[in-house]
Chain A
């Protein structure tokens, strides 16, 4: 698992620079701009895209076949992507909290803990994309799952735009929303393991 995380770290440094830069811009706009919730959601949504961005590169160089020769179990291969999702979303979430702290520095209510109440629902929102897309990619591969992938992205953006242009915090602050998405993420994790174990590489 550590080896796979290390590989993805090296790949992220090389291939995900623009992705990281875009997230930073969204975070800055969310902290210093008007539509704060919406841009924070975009940033967190993009953070969740890291695993499947890397999976596209992996499929391109045939790593997804090559890695099967190494002593990694299917559970490790799948779990690493889910762990990467959590790390990526978690890091961006913490960065968002830090930027808010910097933004309010000097004011009486300034505290690094002020934003933590909003952090959990924000992180939960970031899990929607990976929860829906990763099982599809583990089942069909990135190339064949690409159309599904674009459909999901469009759907998630459309839903978030509708929801957050009206009542931004109504759904996000719901206890059910957070736990529901956490459950969805865990279910997706097990589903991906099941799909990956039964994937044959005859057509890849």
Chain B
């Protein structure tokens, strides 16, 4: 079965392991299907997972990956098909049964009780006790051991609320690994991680493998898949396309198999060269606790990238500049000195900010699309006493058209859209205020490759229209693909700049992780800006 044939969608070939018969699959799914009413979300998936094997599941959003994982871990019962573990047929009516059988799922979303400590969360629902008294000391000791084992430095006594997003993910992983499991399923584990943390996670995965545990690994990041996967199963539109041995596929092959057709270039051609007209100049920006003395300038027609690890202070820097958190900075917009007291002032002056937290800070998921679209532009959009509903409806139709937002009806709610379409709606919302400087924080987090390509094209269009664009991203490839210039931040300071041929992953990674730590007196690189 050739890759080309699979791309054409003939589907259903299963690659058998290198040494057939050598190992009994610890988990086997046969003809697994799931229907919700008339809608089939997953059909006829057959899968063998061997002990000590890293089995990656890839596919676009909506391909059925999460459904498959939920079937395997007992959150959902299959409509057809069977599961067996080590040769015995099993049926899971609820997640705890799958857990007892030795299958652990690390969720994509972080599901921790924020008001409890790390230890409390690790043992939530399975607290250790002596008699009727909860045995805190033993639990803390075990928690500390488990956290140390996966290289997570948080204190077992810390409240989850006070712990960074990346560490929360680690806590969640520690929770899943607390007991020994036969199969561990990771659902998009690296979506909120960057650089070093991804490495740590991949090490954990390899550790599990060395232990003889089977790992099912779902990820959007094909580079990770290529590095660690022994087998890759591709899902497309709820069907299994094929299973290949991991290292035989290039990333491009995987992308083709996922999309089912030849991929155009993911990143758009640069149509305009950046000018040297400064649009937004920031000097000596300091956000207490996060950012110290950062200066930079973005020019008309330029896409400026901000790279760095989670916690490097990139989001905080821009939230500080636009008045969302306390900060001091000298800001010039188009040559005029400005100071944004609030996000409102920044929007009115023409600086738009697209948050990295689409669901928590970007959109009202329970609301219809039109109110979401115009929420930042209420003043512009509804100049009179009462609201201009017709103008609003027109704006929505236009946004749906322009940004190719796929929806069932204009009466849909934001939460009903897929991640990619939500992101496009959010972009439309920010651009509705007609900003001249657009700051986009994590433009493509957790969205599929087709939507990514569209968003890159939209960003390119923005600068072609003479706006300036700042892109904050934890995906280095994305920054390298679309940016004219990349600034790298580490521990709240700018550690360097790369542009042109110097924009390589290794250069950026060095600056983001191990570059010379800037001394307290060093100016965060103002010299090379002027």
**Are A and B subunits of one complex?**
no
